[in-house]
Amino acid sequence: MARYLSRWWDADATVLDVGAGYCSFINAVRARRRVAVDIHDQLERYAAPGVECIRASATDLDVLADRSFDVVFASNLLEHLSREDIRAALAEFRRVLRPGGRLILIQPNFRLRPGEYFDDYTHLTPLSDRSLADLLTVAGFTDLHVEPRFLPLTIRSRGGGLSVLIPFYLRLPWRPLAGQMLVVGRVARAGAETA
């Protein structure tokens, strides 16, 4: 997946993974600087060499300087937050992004899989490709790229995971069983108008 998403940054980029969990994404990223953020205290255990680890909440990234990243990535994070916390997280993401920087979000898409969305008891806020795109616009992101059907709702299997099939799945012209979306927004460059 990191290879697929790398179209939005170059090798000299600084990439921040918020809610990094087991560091699956950030470990696979090729960039000058890679930073993983999560609230759990075992982050260093999962991070590859060269990945900086920071214990912090998505709603309070004060330890990170303004305009210090080219990319902020979060996967399956916002649905676990309240509406107020989502707004706070988006404000923090925008603050740490450089002008022209990209926010890349992968989220369960409530519109596609409403019957399963709350099967995860930790999901608090329903988000769809339409509502998340509107939310990013209100939060000051522009040039949105939205893929309502990005990945299956889950890529777990009894065989230990289907993640090896992701590159093939992403090449399909139509993605069956899709339940997750991809939404990418850009911070306006200096001097440019925001939406």
Question: Chain-centre distance of CA 15, in angstroms?
Answer: 11
In a domain, 195, yes or no: no
CA–CA dist 58, 10 (Å, integer) = 24
Largest CA distance in the chain: 52
CATH number, domain containing residue 40: 3.40.50.150
In a domain, 6, yes or no: yes
pLDDT at 78: 98
In a domain, 176, yes or no: yes
Find the radius of gyration of the CA atoms of the chain. Answer: 16
CA atoms within 13 A on the CB side of 80: 12
In a domain, 168, yes or no: yes
Give the type of residue at 7. Answer: R
pLDDT (tens digit, 9 = 90+) per residue, 59-83?
999 999 999 999 999 999 999 999 9
Instruction: Please count the other Cβ atoms lying within 10 Å of the Cβ belonging to residue 39.
Output: 10
DSSP three-state, residue 133: helix
In a domain, 193, yes or no: no
- Expressed as residue numbers, the domain containing 118 is 2-187
The confidence band for 155, taking pLDDT boundaries of 50, 70 and 90, is low
In a domain, 70, yes or no: yes
* Mean pLDDT along residues 115-121: 92
In a domain, 141, yes or no: yes
Q: What percent of the chain has pLDDT over 90?
A: 81
* Mean pLDDT along residues 107-119: 94
The yes-or-no verdict on residue 130 having pLDDT over 80 is yes
CA–CA dist 65, 127 (Å, integer) = 29
In a domain, 31, yes or no: yes
Provide the phi-psi class of 26: left if phi over 0, else alpha when psi is between -120 and 50, else beta.
alpha
Token digits for 62?
């004060």
Count of the separate structural domains present in the chain = 1
Say what the pTM is: 0.91
